[in-house]
Amino acid sequence: MTALRKKMMHDLELGGYAPRTQQLYIDAIRDFARFFRRSPEEMGQTEVRAWAGYLRDRCKVSASRLRQHFAALKFLYTRTLYRPDAVSFLSFRKGPEKLPTVLSADEVTKLLESLSTPKYRVFCATLYATGLRVLEACRLETRDIDAAQGVLRVRHGKGGKERLVMLSPRLLAVLRAYWKLERPASPWVFASNAGNHLDPSVARRALSRAAVQARLGKRVTPHVLRHSFATHLLEGGEQLRVIQVLLGHASINSTTRYTRVSAGLIGKTRSPLDTLPTGG
């Protein structure tokens, strides 16, 4: 299993999968192998069917976890083992799409004020100011800051795609003050104590603690700041196409959900009742 694990990890890295997704897939395949006490290389559709039924009917794992297991199996047998027939029957319905959690401007302010450590406060301010994914922000390098053009270069985007996002004058000033104070290890903008780039899990924990301290009454993750960035841009009148590019969405369909979550836009929409003539 060790050689297969290394090969699958390599394929996941080449595919641009986030470290957290890589680990979820590897863990799912580990559980599959342990259940049958055999290497996945020695198994096929019969075992995959039995495992899928076990997860669904006996373990009764959540719909999201079941999708992760199926996705891991599909990746392994399609991309790493080149045996798509073993998983060709696998399919799963997506669960009902939930509207993303979005913070108000006041809540963002309270959250940032509750982050006492400068590194985490500036990191989270960067997430909100740019809409970056947490790993994209963790991997920012000083050379990615283009003050002259007023942009940040995202070179470690999802799927290995590069893009540009805006660098506001306020964020630039915050980053410069932070740099003078912290002097993070080169080449990173946000470095760990060991000199590597900031660990996403560490950033998540800091943000979660700050949300509790700020008494927001919401579960706040780095992605919530990304959602808030997109929603506030939309409410400010920015075009969906521009927001799509800033977020790095491959499809505009991924961006349009913010039109459903924006209470500000919905509240400003005029009802047809208001256009009817009033009685004398």
| Residues 206-227: tens digit of each pLDDT | 999 999 999 999 999 999 999 9
* pLDDT value, residue 144: 95
Asked if the model's pLDDT at residue 274 lies above 80, the reply is no
Instruction: Give the rounded percent of residues in the chain with a pLDDT score beyond 90.
Output: 59
Phi–psi pair at 125, nearest 5 degrees: -65, -35
Cα atoms found within 13 Å of the Cα of residue 135, Cβ hemisphere only: 12
Cβ-contact 145, 175 below 8 angstroms: yes
* pLDDT value, residue 238: 85
State pLDDT tens for residues 149-200. Answer: 999 999 877 767 789 999 999 999 999 999 999 999 999 999 999 999 999 9
Asked if the model's pLDDT at residue 273 lies above 60, the reply is no
Asked if the model's pLDDT at residue 100 lies above 90, the reply is no
pTM score > 0.85 for this model? no
* pLDDT value, residue 263: 62
The residue that leads in pLDDT, 73 or 17, is 73
* pLDDT value, residue 123: 97
The tokens describing 153, both together, are 């270069």
The tokens describing 15, both together, are 């595919």
Domains of the chain (ranges plus CATH)?
Answer: 2-86 (1.10.150.130), 105-266 (1.10.443.10)
* pLDDT value, residue 245: 87
* pLDDT value, residue 279: 59
Mean pLDDT of the chain: 87
* pLDDT value, residue 157: 72
The residue that leads in pLDDT, 256 or 204, is 204
CA pseudo-torsion sign 144, 146, 147, 149:
negative
Residues forming the active site: 133, 158, 223, 226, 249, 258
The tokens describing 185, both together, are 């290890």
With the CA atoms of 67, 68, 72 and 74 taken in that order, what torsion angle do they form, in degrees rounded to the nearest 10? Answer: 10
* pLDDT value, residue 269: 59
The residue that leads in pLDDT, 274 or 86, is 86
* pLDDT value, residue 267: 63
* pLDDT value, residue 58: 78
pLDDT band at 106; cut points 50, 70, 90? very high
Which amino acid does the sequence have at 177? A
Pairing mode of beta strands 145-146, 163-166? unpaired
Burial class (CB within 10 angstroms; exposed 0-12, middle 13-18, buried 19+) of 75 = buried
State pLDDT tens for residues 228-241. Answer: 999 898 888 888 88
pLDDT band at 95; cut points 50, 70, 90? low
The gap from C-alpha 202 to its chain's centroid, in whole angstroms, comes to 15
Which amino acid does the sequence have at 48? V
Asked if the model's pLDDT at residue 242 lies above 90, the reply is no
Alpha-carbon span 134 to 129, nearest angstrom = 13
Helix (H) or strand (E) holding 164, with range, is strand 163-166
Q: How many helices (H) and strands (E) does the chain have?
A: 14, 3
Instruction: Give the rounded percent of residues in the chain with a pLDDT score beyond 70.
Output: 90
- Reply yes or no: is the peptide bond before residue 187 cis, omega within 30 of 0: yes
